Structures are given as C-alpha cells and as structure tokens.
Structure 1
Amino acid sequence: MDKKLLFIFIVLFSLHSSAQEEYRIFGKIITKTSQKPLSFAVISIQNSNITELSNPEGKFELKIPFGGKQLLAVRSQGYKELLLPITLANSKTIDLGILSLEENVVSELQNNWIVLDDSDLNEDASTSENTSSLLQSSRDVFLQASAFNWSQARFRIRGLDSENASMLLNGVTMNKIYDGRPQWNNWGGLNDVLRNQEFTLGTTTSPYVFGGVLGTQAITTRASMYRKGTRLSFSGGNTNYNWRAMASYASGSNKSSWAYAIAASKRYGNQAYFDGSQYNAESFFLSIEKKINRKQFLNFTGFYTPNERAKNSPNTEEVTQLTNSKYNSYWGEQNGKIRNARVKTVSEPVIMLNHYFKINEKTQLNSAVSYQWGRISNSAIDYQNANSPDPTYYRNLPSYYLSMYGSDNGEYSGDFLPNYTEAEKSKQAFLTQPQIDWESLYKANQETITDADGRIVGYQPSKSHYVLYEDRVEDALFSANSAVYTRLTDQITANAGISFKKLKSHNFQYLTDLLGGTPFEDIDAFYTGDQSQSNLQEPNRKVKENEIYGYNYNLQALVADAFTQFSFTYKKIDFYLAQTFSVTHYQREGLFQNGLYPTTSLGKSASLHFENFGFKGGVTFKISGKQWFLVNGYYATKAPTLQNVFPNARLNNAVVEGIDSETISSAECSYVYHASKLKTRATAYFSDFKNGTNVSFFYAEGIFEKGFNHNNTDAFVGQTLSNIQKQYCGAELSFEYQISPTFKTILAANYGQYRFANNPNVKLVNDAQASVQNTNPVFDFGSSVLKNYKVAGTPQQAVSLGFEYRDPHYWWIGVNGNYLDERYVEVAPISRTKMFFKNPVNGYLFPEATEERASELLKQEKLPAISLLNLVAGKSWRFKTNYVGLFGSVNNLLGKVYKTGGFEQSRNANFRELNQDVSSENPSFGPKYYYGYGRTYFVNMSVSF
C-alpha cells in the first residue's frame, strides 16, 4: 500500500474514532490461594485486539471504544482462565474490584509432561521435520492434541515443518539461518522457566515479528514475571531418557528493584526405548532484571544446555524382520559397555540483554542484543581400504544372495537362481553379530607382534583403516532487534520492528578417535594422485586425534529485516495489515584446496544477495460476544536457507544455478465459538509454496552412461531439486465441552491434502566427472514427475477424542483415543526422471520398462493407519501455600508397533536395477523406515514452595 494512502487511511479512522464513546474498566488481579497481587496477567476483551497487562500491584485499566455486552477474559500462565460477562451501557467507568485467579493444577502438571521424542530431536532425518515443540502449552484443544498425542506419529501442523514458524525468546528469533528451523536442544530441560508463552497459529498478528505462515511462538524470560518461590521435580520414563531432575527459583521483585530467576536440570538415559540410544544432558538458566526507573527495565538472560544423544537407525523391512522394531544398527558393545557410533552433541550457550522502555501510556519500545556460540556435531565411522563397519551393509544380509541386485550394471536380462545356502549363512552371521564389532575395528588398526617361534605375543598400532570422526559446525551468531508498540488512537494500534543477524559458521570434519591405530591419511581413497587430496596445500597429511581433515570451510550470512503492522478495532469488526522487507547475504569461504576442485575450492565464493518482502492481513467479524468469524491472507517471498544454496559446500564454492527466493501464499478462515461450557474452532486453510530448492546426497548405481568415470556407471552424487511447488490444504476442528463441573470431553481433528503441485527439476553433481575430464560435473536430468505425489513425513488425517475428569479434591484422570492416517513414504525424485528409464550401458530405453510396470514400481507407498490410546492422571496436595504434584502418563497403552515414516533409497538409479531388486521379493535396497514408540510411561513428582 502506498505510504500516502496508508496515512490517509489512518487519519480517516482516527477522525472516526474521535466520535466514539470510550469506556474505562478498572480492577485488581490476585491469586486465590495467597491473596497476593498477580502481575503481568493478560486482560482482554474477547473478539477484539484490546489487551492490557496487570502491573506489579495487580492493577489494570482497560479502555474500550465501544459499548454493549462484552466478554472480559483474564489469563495468566499456570492459572485457570476467568471469563466475565460485562455490559457497557450508561456508566462510562466500571470498577470490577478484586478478581482472583485459581491455580490450574492440571496445567501445572501437564507442563512437566514434556518429553522431546525422536521426531523432534532427529531433525537430520529427511522425514522428521517436526513442528511440535512440546514446549508449547496452548489452551487450544487442537494444539494440545498436536503436541501431546499426535506428535508420537510425527504429526506436523498443516503439514508444514518448523522453518515456517517463528520461534522467539524475548523477541529474538531463534530459528537457525542454516536450515530455518529452531534447534530445540538449545533450551531443553528448562520447562519451569519457559512457561510464559504466546502462541499464534497461522498468519494472525504477532506483536513481535511479521511471522511465518505457520505462526509464532514467543517465550518471555523476564525475571520479574516469574512467580516467587522454589520448584523441584523428578521424573522417570522410558522414551529418550530414564530420569530427569529439575530445580528452579524465582525471587520476585525486591525493594531494590532487582529480580532474578535461576534453573538447572539433568536428564540421563543409559538405555532409552530404542536399543543403544543413550542420552545425557544438563541445563542451566539465569535471568536477572533491574528496574532502572518506573519506565525502563533491563533484563539479562543466559542459558546453556549441553547435551548428547545417541541416534537410532532407520531400517529396511528385511532388517526389522530379522530383529525387531527397536533394533538400532549404530551401536555395539565395547568392554561390556554400549558404544554408539552416531552421537549428536549440541553445546551452544546463549546470552541476551533486553531493554524494556515504556515511553508513555500508549507507547512501548523493547530492544535486545544476543550472542550465541558453540558447536553442533554428529559423529560417525570413517574408513579407508576396508569393509563397511555397518552390520546392515547390504552385502551382510540374506537379500544379497536372494536378489538379482547388481548382476551386470543394468545389462542383465536372464533368469536368476537365488543362493539359499549363502543366504542362510549370511542370516546366521548377522544374527550372531547384529551390532558394530568395535573389537574387530581396533584389530584392523593394529598389527600382531610375534616371538621367535611365530607365536602372537601382542599387538601394536598400525595404519588406521577405521576412525571415529565428527561432522562439526561451530557457529558464532550476533543478533540485535528492536520493536515498538503504540496505540495511535483508541481503535488503532501500530507495531514496528527491525532486526539484524550476523553469522559465521565454521564447518569441518574432526577426527576424535583413531581406534587404536596410527594417524589417518587425509585423502579420498576413491581417487588417486592430486584428485585424492583433501587439501593440496598439505598433501598426504597424517591426521591425528583432535585435528581437522576431509573438508574445512566457513559460511557467512547477514540478514536484516523490518516489519510494520497496523491493527484496527471496532465494535463489529477488527482488521489488520502487516508488511515486511528483508535483505539476506550468503557467502562461502573455503579453507582447504580440494584436489577435485583445485581452482574453485579455496577462498571466497561469489556473494549471494536476496531481497524479500511480504504482506498479510486479516478481518475478524464479531457475530456476538461469544462467536466470531476470521479471514486471513498472506503473501511473501523468502530467501532460500543457507543449506540449499551451495550444492557441494564441503568441496567447492559452486552455487545452485538460478537459485532464487521461494514464494509463499496462504489463506485461512475460521469460525470460533467461545463460552463458559463450550469452546470450538473450525478452520479451513490453504498454502502454496513455489520455487523451493532442496539439496541432498546419496550413492547411486547405474545412474551415468559408461565413459564418465572409467566406464563405471555408479557414483556418489549431490542432488539439487529446484523449482519445487507444494500445496497444503485442509481443515482443523477444535471442540471442548464441559459436560459438568468435573467432567469434560474434547475432540480435535485434522483433514489435509499435502502434495507436490508440479514437476521440479533435478540436477546431479558427480565429483568423479570433475576428476576424469576436469569439466563441469553438473548433469541436468530434467523434470522429475512428482506432481500429485504426497508430501511425506506427517499424517495428513488425524482425529483425537478424549474425556477428562477433575475431582474437587485435586485429582484428575484423562483418556484419549487417536487415529492417524494418510501417511506416506518419501519418494526418490531421481526415479521419476526420464533418465531413470535409460540404459546407462547403451543409451537406449529399457525394453521391459512398460508404463504399467513403471506405474507399479513408482507408486508411492502408503503406511498403515495408526490407532493409539493414551492415559494420563494427576494428583496435587496443597499445604498452605505449598504444593506437591504427582503426574503420570502411559502412551500407546495397547503397545501397538507402527512406522512413523520412511524414505525410498535412491541406490537403484535406473529402471532395470529397481525392477530386478523388487522382483526378487527380497530387495536389498527397499525403503527404510522409522518406528514409533511402543508402550511408554512418564511419571513426574513436583514440589512448589
């Protein structure tokens, strides 16, 4: 909208507003148990944008520009919501007196039921981009079902992953620049001090940021906002960890205008639900606030949550049938102790300073600076001139001898006779040693010492064939932002904000354990000569423990954005308009001169520049004081994430050809009814994402024509999928009915259709091509026919029906049944290109590749529907102003075994390879699946005083 038109628009509404009547409502909020004032309680008029906070004395004043019957709502974290009908008629001033809020014991206990499941933690898996940070504690039944019930099956709200939602701490956006997603581990274990939250779903207004298409989650850690007192809790469970201990203390504001809050926790699991998946985490938190004067406050927040989590493997159907759904191939025993080769470590402290400035009664300015540094690492085993240490490596499994896999690089067309004898031997060998054999890895790195008679008398280190390393990222992120809120008139409020982020991200391979051997050669054993060198500036370097090798580069990013938002509130209608503009810069700096790319790997890449904008708006029609109808619209462009800009960042400075911003448009409409007994919401939504980009890596066989790599048709490739369009449409239902003062029923439902809406383009990077001909290693495979394939990774349909009983004697029990369906395996784009049907040996189409057979092979796999039964219960005791709470839950009460997701392997990269593998009925490279938890439990006991 033109600035002049916007100014005229505001002036007209200001003139209109001056003629309106104004009502003033006064009151004081206290706690029911202690009778003490309750500060920072939210007082609002339902179906409007009129909101105020109670001051430290619990007092508030609400100005309302319209009369009639209204519904006043009072909310505060940890207390039951108070709904009070009022009539604004003759008197312009109403004193409500003292309003007391009762503690919400159930909410307090539920807040301890926060166990990050593997779908939240395993964000490195392509099918697990979850949005259900279980830190959220919304009152909306649908959001509660998403967080506490459906998350077991990796449900994603509206099918979208968390990069489409903005996660804020004290106004600072915590989404990572690298992939756009919050790193939940950075604040895990701090439940007690992360309860002051505001959550908006979809594209509705947020006072802090323009926001993503999925919504915003804003957490505040001001020390003065915490309820004074101490809280201790101890938990036990069998999901990711076995036990958890937490402690927190808040001082409240003292006479010297200081306030502070501290918290610490420990989570530990020697053997969690999945085999070999250890967990170890600590958390520390500090918030200190100083009241400078009656208008200005300074608050320092710092937290540090170092944690280590051993991962669990996705498995093929063959592996699961040989073992069980808990099987994990990533670990083995060493000296009688479990040792997992794939451990994720997160150690990123955060410090921030916030300045809160109440300029006058109508305007507030909040500013913040923050700094985050540390590392995220993922360990694995590297090996040279040796067999794969993975016990599920395809040559170790029976299917290798029962399938027609790999017989002739795509030329085979005759009969195949399975070798049942060798298959049985392979099966028995696998069952005898189904885990990583650490002892054999150490022996492979040593040579025997013999005496004069040739007898083995010992071992000594020799050339390392196996080592343990980490893919490590060390980030240093500086952030600064400022946001202003002002009430222009009684009907018009304005929000505006600016933010700036500067990131330096050091990415490298780090050797952590030589596994008993001598220093490791810093080469790529698949190549020879200069092409094998990781760094031509130090050729044939011997790498010792705690040294960098393999790849080494920096990623740099600068992001600046600004937004404005205007909200208009009237008796029968509210509406808002918001806009944003951002500038993004990316650059890579290579620190190694790689032998495959000697001229394009060292030094700085071209600087990438993206300018983006966005608009959103919405209208609320107030049908009555209890019901209203909302319509919201959203259109924005968004810079690609840092991970999808450089297709081969580990080796060179190349940039994705034609990379550009993604375009996002969305619309939603809702009907809401909110009364004392019945609360319901029905929402229809549609989102369209265009021009997306995704970079991935895999090993493919039979993918290139002979002649590119010494007549080898196989290669490890980087795949860039560009011009991706996805559409998400559906409907949500939230229903809560208080049947009696002690008994209520809840219903939540989602019906979605999430699909690819076009045929994106596929390009592959083959490093072997660069080594052989020193030419462009990028191959354009054309379009991948993905249109109408389903977006994987989440149930598209979900229903939750529950009943809850709350006894007046402070105990409660709830049961919840859930049904989730329309879940699909992620497909391999390379298998849907024209090149997939081309014989790499002679360049002709495979004669057996009929349309009927292709349709059968490439049909997207649908996973079976899931039915889950959950049970929760709690009890609290009050001793004067002290509380003791006991909470317990059993999820998947019936112990159902189910898959939470999966993905097709891209190894069979041409039609004949895939057809032969599948036709054997014992595929070596069938889809890999993730499994959900069986019957799990969680018990928590807390003491507040």
Structure 2
Amino acid sequence: MKNWIFSGLLLMMVSVMFSQQTVTGIVIDNDTRMGLPGVNVVVLNSTENATTDDNGKFQITTVQTAGSVEISYIGFETKVLTFKVANGGTANLGQIVIGTDSAQLDEIIVVGKGVIDLADSRRTPIAVSTIRAAEIKQKTGSADVTQAMVNTPSVYVAGQSGGFGDSRITVRGFGQDNTAFLLNGQPINGMEDGLVYWSNWSGMSDIANGIQIQRGLGSSKLAISSVGGTVNFVTKTTDKREGGFVSAGVANDNYLKTTAAYSTGEGKNGFGASVLLTRWQGDGYNDGTFGEGYNYFISLGYKLNESHNFNFLITGAPQEHDQNFSKTISSYLEHGRRFNNNWGTLNGQYLSERTNFYHKPVANLNWDWNINDNTSLSTVLYGSWGRGGGTGSYGKSAAKKYTADDQINFDAIYANNEALPNGDGTFGNNAYAIRSSMNNHDWYGLVTNLEKQLSENLTLNFGADLRTYKGSHYRQINNFLGLNSWTESRRLFNANSEVIPVDVFNTVTESQPINHFKGLFNSIDKDQRIDYDYSETISYGGVFGQVEYATEKFSVFAQGAASTQSHQRFDYYDYIAEAEAAEKVNNFGFNAKAGGSYNIADHSQLYVNAGYYSRQPYHDNIYLNYTNQVNPLTENEKILGFEAGYKFKSKFFTANVNAYRTSWKDRVVSSSATLTKDEVFGDITIAAGEQVYTTNEGVEQLHSGVELDFVAKPFSFVEVRAFGSVGNWEYVGDAVKTKRDEDRRVLESKATDVDGGKVGDAAQITAGVGAKFKIVERLSLDADYRFYDKLYSNAGAVKENLLLPKYDLVDAGISYRMLVGKDKDDSVDFRLNVNNVFYKVYLSELRSNIKTTDRVNPKSETDFSTYESAGKIYNGLADGNQGYFGLGRTWSFTISYNF
C-alpha cells in the first residue's frame, strides 16, 4: 500500500514538473502607447520563446512554474520580468511598457551604437518619425521603400511612374540631394551630386529593421548638411535566436517576389550568421517599365567578450529596369495614362531604349568597444562599389523612327542602319544606336565616435568622418542595331581649355550589352568609349563633437562639426594627355547646432533648436559645364535653421507639434524636361524627344512651416494615427538660369528674377489619418487617407510657378497570422495591400511651367492661339505641360512562413 502511495505521489510530482504552463502578456511602445509586433520573448534558462503578434500580444508554453522572461526588441530597452504560474497553469504579465533605447540596435550584438544617430541618443528632442520593421514590410508591398514614408509630416514621395526604383522623396520641400541618408551610420548620398537612387536599394524593405526620419536639423553628429532632414536606415544584423522565413509575393502587372532568410542564432562561442536572398521581377505599372533584380544580405556577428562586439555585413541589389520619362498631358490624354514612348519591338521582340542597370554592393565592419562603465568607442569601416548606368539614343534624331502609335520603330531603324555604306554610323549619315552612359565608383570610409559620460548629467561625444571616392563616367555602344561600327570626330582642349584645331577620329566596333551581374567586373576598353570619358577623385575629412547636459527637468546641448574636401577632375576624351588633370579644388565647411528642452510635467515637453551650416558645393557644381574649367561662381551654401516643438505623451494619446524656419542661400536648383518639338538655341538645334537640363545658380530659398502628428488608442481594438503639415516655401532674389543638353553643351544662360516664386516638386500642405482595427485575434485591417495641396511644378526657380490640382488618396490593407507547428511557435503570415483604393486620377508632378494664356506655337508667325483659346486645357492646366500622372489602383499579396 505504501508503494502505491509513493508511486502516486511520484507520478503527480513528475506530471507537475513536466506539465505545460502558459505565460501571456502584451508589449506596449512607451512612445506610441501601442502594441509592438515582432518583439522577442524568451523564458530564461530554456529554449522556450515566442514573438508578439501584430497587436503586441504573446503567449509562451513552458514547463516552468516560476521563472523569468526576457523582453527584447531592436531599438528598445530590454526588460526581464519574473513570473509565477497561478492555479489553472497561466501567468498573465499584463501590459509591459518598453521605451526606446538607442543602445539596443540589433538582436545579437550592439553595433554602431555611437555612430547611428537615432533621436533618442540625445535627450533634447527633434522633429522625428520612426517606422518599425513590421510597418515597412506591410506598407511597401511591391513599391520602393519610400512608400513606407508617405504617412509622415512634410514628406512627399514622387516619381513612382518612372519605373521600379525611380521614386524620390522631399522633406520640408528639400530634395534628396539636400536630405542626408545614412545606412547604419554610413552616408549614402552620392559624393558627386548628393543624389540617392532607390533602384540601388531595392532590397531595403527586406533588410531594414527601422527607418527614422529626422526632419530639419536632426540629431546627426556628422559633418553632413541635413537641410531638409536626416533619414536613418537601420538594417538587420545577426539575429539572436535561430530561425528564418520564406515568403512569396505577387502584385499587379505580373509582379513576383520570393525571399528566403535564415539565422543561426548566437552560438556559445559568440558567433552568429544571418542570410537573406530575394528575387523579383515585374512588367511595371506603366507601359515599357519592365524590371527585375535580386537582393542579398549576409551578416556575421561575433561577441568576443562583454567589452568587444563585432559585426560584418554585406548587401547589394543588382537590378535593371526600363524607364518612363515625363510627357505632355496631351500625350497621356491621346494614348492613355500608362503611355511610354521609350520602347518598341525589333523582329517582334520587346526592346527598350531607356534602361537603368546597376549593382552597388555595400559592406560594413562595425566594432563596439565598451572601454569602461562610462566610456565607449564605436567605429564603422565601410566600402561600396557601384557599377552600371543607363541607356539612351545616340545619333541623329532624324534616324529615330516611330510607329503610327508613337512607339519606337526599331525595325525601320535597323533597316536604315544596314543600308549605310560599310555599316558605319556617324552623326552625319542619319545613323542610330543605343548607348550606355556608365557611372561607376569605388567609395571607402570610416566613421568613429567616442562617448564619455563625464558625470551623471553630462555626456561628451567626439569623433571623425573620413571618406575617399573615385568615380568614372563614359559612354559605350549598347546595341549597334544593324551597324558594324560607329565613327565620330572631336576637337581636343589644351590646359587653358583652348581648342586645338585638329580633328581626332574615333571608331568603335565593340558593344557592351546590359548585365547587372557581370557589369561589376567588366569594363570596355578606353578606345571603345564614345562621347566622353572622365573621372574624379574626392577626398573628405571631418571631425565632430557634441556635449549635452540633461536632468529630469531640462536638457541643453551644443554640437559642432568641421570638414575639408578636395576635388579633382580628369578628362581622358576631350583633352590632350598633358592637360587631362584639372586644377585641384579644396573647400572647407562647418556646421554648428545647439538646443534645449524643458519638461513642463510628466507628460509635456518643450524644445528649441538652432543650427548654421556652411556647406561645400557638390563636385558637379565645381567644374564648369562638365569641363576641366573651375566654375568661379561656386561658393559654400549657407543654411540657417530654427525649430521649436511641443511633445505630449499619455497612456492613450501622444502628440507632437513642430514649427520651423530654414533659410538657404547660394544654392543650386536643377530640373529637366523632354522637348516635345525641335527647339533652336543660338546655332544649336535640339530635337524633339531629347532632354534639356536647367540649372539655377545663386538661388536663395526660405522654408517655414508647422507640423502636427498624433497617435491615439481610444479602444483596445483600434489605433489611430494622424499627421498634418502646412509650409510656405519660396525663392528669394535673383538666379542665374543655364540650360544644357544631354551632351552637357550650354544652350543659354541668363539672370532671372525669382523673388516670391513657390518652390515646387512637393506639396506644401499635407494631411493624413490612418487607423488599424483588430477584427479578431491575429486578424487586422488598416487604412490610410492622405491629402495634398499647394503642389507646384518642378520647373526650377521661377517667379510664377504653376499650381497643380489638389488630390487625396486612400490605401488599405489586411493582415492575418496563423499559428502553426507542434507548439504553435511558427506562423504563416498573410498580407494584402490595395493602394489608391478609389482609383483617384491625379497629377503627381509636373516639370514645366506653361500657362493657359501662353501660345501653343510661340514661334509661329501665323498661329497666335493660346492653350485657353484652343481648348487645350486639362483640369485647369495647359495640356502642353509635361510630367507624370500618379499610379492608379495597385495591389500586392504576400504569404510568409516564419520558423
């Protein structure tokens, strides 16, 4: 009998020891007071773990009746909570509120914590919006990563109609060349012109753990001039726990995307690895905008000890996509809003004249050294190697044939080329070929920052930013289209840029087809290059420092940076050998920022910031008209900014109000347009269909405005976000306007009065509201409404700019997570996006400034009709204006298995 009693007690003990208990809770973002999806929840001293759902909820099955769970999420503080299972086998931890912590930037090792300038690395606030990884994946679908930023105050996204990767964003009315973009602390704006091409970052939505848009002065300590703002992309590094996912997505116009990712987790030896691979392709929304590409991401992490952490990552997105250029409104009305005349057929096969192709691998090596309890050093060493370019027409415009429906007639062009003597093309015999304009670079840099906690309230940062860059640019034949060779002649310049009266002839017989993979290693011989062949070297060195004093009641900071950069141009095509090297130009620049904040109460905070920049001109503005002549007009641009704000935070409501004023002097504004008919500039005739570039030098801009955003959670099943911004962005004084053709010849140059003219290319009034509804457990519906007004044409600096019609859009999506696996640890996620739900027809941008009272044929001696009198008006605009209609209704659907 005693044995039976003992056996029963033993069985009860074993069953209790190995029975499964349940630990539940919901993780809340301290800033937004919303549930955080994708948070890691781990039962310590076990392999039991879970991830929060879209509403921040989690549930872990464990054999422990008491213990601790660790709550960790990228960019947030890590919390450890104890639990004890009550009767019924369940422990509910309730709401777990976690705040942002810039020291927690990845899931295995903290990399670049002193280099990646997130807003919370400084106590004094700025105007900022943060987009989490889950939202990035949900909102982008098949679009560029810029789509994730559309619900942000003072941000305008345009260019989507150009093709995959051709979108661009403006912040507070400033373009991408005047907004700083950082990748894990590495500057990625082009060193020649400051531009960012999103086709080079087509995989960003897959690898980004977060995007932080800092409008205005920002919190970056680098010697960068964030006139409009600073956009920080924080990528994945190496996941802390083993796992991965596979996903497949489809979208409108035959879009298909597949992705696979796997992480080993952190091993006992401190090593870990994460790998992600993606392939995509699609026809594009507009006609003739086919694209395809890949994305790879490899991250290797090593935690040597508690003091030293290392992470190496390499990522790239080789791609090619056919492009759509802006056209007149009348062309769209005649052929449809998807019309694109950059393509045709050859022997029945599709062929585009305009294709962008590029491969830009980027590598980062991060080292974080915790020297002691109050001192740390963060360093990132990086490199990127860009290879690729874009195709276009080459030859006499008269040789370019079109079909009856205005598509390129490659069959007729081919036949014409074959009939030429010896099959040799020249500018004088109406030959036509497709050329590639190559833009290659090698870029290396280092950013390092030492942070010292001088006292409980006083923090000091100082460091260095070093970069070296070499770019090369040339043209080559992409497709001879029936020709055997191409011959051209030119005159050379001496060191004084004087023409030597001797013709130099060049005949090329080799072509280089598009290949975004092989292009990383291939380069055509110099004697097979056409039109131009030049390079430049740019060296940059900067130092920066910041000191901040912060208490529970107030904070103040001061920040400064200084930099010097040198430029030198080398022209191998248009100059004699001893004059290939241009004069080296050195420029010094600096910036200074300061600010402070005051906590009115536990939930309210006021702040003010001010800053001044003296920014060196970009390389493309230093040398005159793409020659070795130094432009005497260039000088440092001067930017003076002021901003103030108020932040309110409560359990159910968070709001931010920001006001700003930014003055920008001695700047350069550029725009481009496609000619709709032949135009004569002096003794130069530019044919219809060619691009003309307009540059306005010495321009001053004044931008001021107010921004509002808030998040509310009135009920447990609904979250509401809203934003609004009202700006007044104007030009001040006079500007020198210069027009150039695609061969960079100056067509005309004159001074013009632009005082009071409105800055174009971005809506000066934006507003939006979005809501997310929890329908049932793990099923949610979200929708966003956006409104845009005071959008002016991107026609450069003009006094009377063209106002586009206002418009609004609605996007919607639905998400569902299905738990699978033995212990429900895995999941299958479904996501459906529909953008522009109500198929709103709108103009997203214009690049000309034709008034309805302007003449249709201004050079005609017999036709004096205006657009208005001729009835050539669309929605209040002259239909001779050129630009883009926005995309119609689009959709995407993704299914992902997470393990």
**TM-score exceeds 0.5:** yes
Instruction: Out of 695-704 and 753-762, give the one that drifted further.
Output: 695-704
How far off is 1:704 after superposition? 6.1
What is residue 344 of structure 1 aligned with on the other side?
356
1:615 match: 592
Q: Which amino acid aligns with 2:755?
A: K
- 1:383/1:904 CA distance change after superposition, 3 Å: same
Evaluate the alpha carbon distance shift between residue 903 and residue 611 of structure 1 in structure 2; reply closer, same or farther with a 3 A threshold: same
| Separation of aligned partners in 2, 1:485 and 1:287 | 25
Distance 1:693 1:109 in 2: 35
Letter in 1 for 2:810: L
Q: Contact 2:294–2:319 at 8 Å: present in 1 too?
A: yes
| 1:901 equivalent among 845, 867, 872 | 845
Cα deviation for residue 624 of structure 1 reads 1.4
Q: Aligned partner of 1:565: which letter?
A: Q
Q: How far has the Cα of 1:932 moved from its partner?
A: 0.8
Offset at residue 106 of structure 1 (A): 9.9
Over 3 Å counting, the alpha-carbon distance change for 1:810 and 1:302 in structure 2 is same
State the match for 1:790 in structure 2. Answer: 758
Following superposition, the deviation at residue 352 of structure 1 comes to: 2.3
Q: 1:260 aligns with which of 269, 273, 298?
A: 273
Q: 1:371 to 1:78 in 2, by over 3 A?
A: closer
Residues 761-817 of structure 1: CA deviation (Å, up to 9, x unaligned): 2356799999xxxxxx897523x1212111111111111123321135111112222
- 1:815-834 per-residue CA deviation (whole Å, 9 max, x = no partner) reads 222221111123366xx7xx
2:193 counterpart letter in structure 1: D
Structure 1 match to 2:722: 747
CA separation in 1, counterparts of 2:332 and 2:740? 33
Matched, 1:869 2:829: no
Q: Which residue of 2 aligns with 1:639?
A: 616
Corresponding residue for 1:466?
Answer: 432
Are the aligned partners of 1:500 and 1:560 in contact in 2 as well (CA < 8 Å)?
yes
Tell me the residue number matched to 1:188. 202
Q: CA deviation at 1:909?
A: 13
Contact 2:842/2:885 (<8 A) preserved = yes
Q: CA deviation at 1:243?
A: 1.5
Q: Which range moved further: 258-267 or 546-555? A: 546-555
What is the deviation of 1:234? 1.3
1:876-900 per-position Cα deviation (integer Å, ceiling 9, x unaligned): 1223221211111111111122111
Q: Given that residues 709 and 769 in structure 1 are in contact (C-alpha distance below 8 angstroms), is that contact kept between their aligned partners in structure 2?
A: no
1:142 to 152, 164, 176: 152
Identical-pair percentage: 18
Unaligned runs of 5+ in 1: 1-27, 44-52, 60-70, 80-103, 121-131, 392-429, 449-458, 526-530, 771-776, 833-857
Equivalent positions of 1:533-544 (< 5 A) are 538-544=504-510
Supply the AA of the counterpart residue of 1:678: F
**Distance in 2, Cα, partners of 1:797 & 1:931:** 19
Q: Quote the Cα distance in structure 1 between the aligned partners of 2:299 and 2:415.
A: 51
Which residue number corresponds to residue 583 of structure 1? 564
Which residue type is aligned with residue 466 of structure 1?
Y
Identify which range, 687-696 or 149-158, moves more after superposition. 149-158
Relative to its length, the structure with more strand (as a share) is 2
Tell me if structure 2 keeps the 8 A contact 1:648–1:718: no
Shift of 1:169: 2.5
The DSSP-based 3-state class of the residue aligned with 2:398 is coil
SS at match of 1:578: strand
Tell me the alpha carbon deviations over residues 301-352 of structure 1, each in whole angstroms, 9 at most, x when there is no partner.
1112101111112111221121111100111123333221101111111222
- CA contact 2:238–2:265 (8 Å) conserved in 1: yes
CA RMSD of aligned residues (A): 4.1
CA contact (8 A) 2:770 2:782 kept: yes
Unaligned runs of 5+ in 2: 1-40, 44-49, 51-57, 61-67, 83-96, 108-129, 162-166, 492-496, 513-527, 873-877
Q: Which residue of 810, 815, 819 corresponds with 2:787? A: 819
Could you say if the C-alpha distance between residues 736 and 199 of structure 1 is closer, same or farther in structure 2, counting changes exceeding 3 Å?
same
State the Cα deviation string for residues 849-892 of structure 1 (Å, max 9, x = none): xxxxxxxxx84321111121222111112232212111111111
Amino acid at match of 1:928: Q
Tell me if the contact between 2:485 and 2:507 (Cα under 8 Å) persists in the aligned partners: no
1:739 match: secondary structure:
strand
TM-score normalized with structure 1 length: 0.72
Letter in 2 for 1:253: E
Tell me the distance in 1 between the aligned counterparts of 2:509 and 2:500.
Answer: 11
Matches within 5 A, 1:179-578: 179-206=193-220, 212-221=226-235, 223-225=237-239, 228-238=242-252, 242-269=255-282, 271-384=283-396, 386-389=398-401, 391=402, 432-447=404-419, 461=423, 463=425, 465-523=431-489, 538-546=504-512, 547-578=528-559
Q: Specify the SS of the correspondent of 1:111.
A: helix
Structure 2 match to 1:37: 70
User: Paired residue for 1:83?
Assistant: none
Correspondence list, 1:6-85, <5 A: 32-34=58-60, 37-39=70-72, 42=75, 53-54=77-78, 73=99
CA deviation string 1:725-770 (max 9, x = no partner): 1111111111222121002333211111111122112356799999
Q: Could you list the per-position Cα deviations for residues 895-934 of structure 1 after superposition, in whole angstroms to 9, with x for gaps in the alignment?
A: 1221111112799999953995746848899321111100
Distance in 2, matches of 1:386 and 1:931, equals: 29
Q: What corresponds to 1:806 in structure 2?
A: 774
Q: Is the 8 A contact 1:534 1:592 kept in 2?
A: no
Letter in structure 1 aligned against 2:574: Q
Residue identity in the other structure for 1:870: D
Count of residues paired in the alignment = 754
The corresponding residue for 2:22 is: none
Q: TM-score, normalised by structure 2?
A: 0.76
The one-letter amino acid paired with 1:488 is L
State the secondary structure of the residue aligned to 1:37. Answer: strand
Instruction: Look up the SS of the partner of 1:623 in the other structure.
Output: strand
CA deviations 1:377-405 (Å, max 9, x no partner) are: 0101212373344x4xxxxxxxxxxxxxx
Q: Per-residue deviation at 1:942? A: 1.4
Q: From 161, 180, 190, give the equivalent of 1:166.
A: 180
3-state secondary structure, aligned to 1:440: helix
- Cα deviation digits, residues 439-477 of structure 1 (max 9, x gap): 1111111139xxxxxxxxxx9956471111111111011
Secondary structure (helix, strand or coil) at the match of 1:825 reads coil
CA distance in 1, matches of 2:223, 2:696: 30
- Cα distance between partner residues in 2 of 1:769 and 1:509: 13
The question of 1:759 aligning with 2:734 is answered yes
Is the CA contact 1:736–1:745 (under 8 Å) kept in the aligned structure 2?
yes
1:721 positional shift: 2.2
Change (3 A) 1:223 1:801: closer
Matches of 1:289 and 1:58, distance apart in 2: 27
Preserved CA contact (<8 Å) 1:150 1:818: no
How far apart, in 2, do the equivalents of 1:769 and 1:250 lie? 49
Note if 1:727 corresponds to 2:702. yes
Alignment of structure 1 residues 685-696 onto 2, 5 Å: 685-694=660-669
Q: Which residue identity lines up with residue 581 of structure 2 in the other structure?
A: K
Q: CA deviation at 1:503?
A: 0.9
Q: 1:630: how far off?
A: 1.5
- C-alpha distance 226-436 of structure 1, shift in aligned 2 (>3 A): farther
Distance 1:105 1:504 in 2: 34
Counterpart-to-counterpart distance in 2, 1:336 and 1:734: 53
| C-alpha distance 147-901 of structure 1, shift in aligned 2 (>3 A) | closer
Helix, strand or coil at the partner of 1:577 = strand
Structure 2 CA distance, aligned partners of 1:897 and 1:495?
50
Q: CA deviation digits over 1:534-561, x for unaligned, max 9? A: 9968524344323311100011111111
Distance 1:521 1:793 in 2: 40
Corresponding position of 1:928? 882
8 Å CA contact retained: 1:222, 1:288: no
Q: What SS class does the counterpart of residue 412 from structure 2 fall into? A: helix
For residues 539 and 473 of structure 1, the distance between their equivalents in structure 2, rounded to whole angstroms, comes to: 24
Aligned to 1:13: none
Amino acid aligned to 1:655: V
Contact 2:792 2:802 in 1 (8 A): yes
Structure 2 CA distance for aligned equivalents of residues 768 and 315 of structure 1 = 21
- Alpha carbons of structure 1 residues 164 and 243: separation in structure 2 relative to 1, 3 Å: same
Deviation at 1:646, TM superposition (A): 2.5
Q: Give distance in 2, aligned partners of 1:748 and 1:580.
A: 33
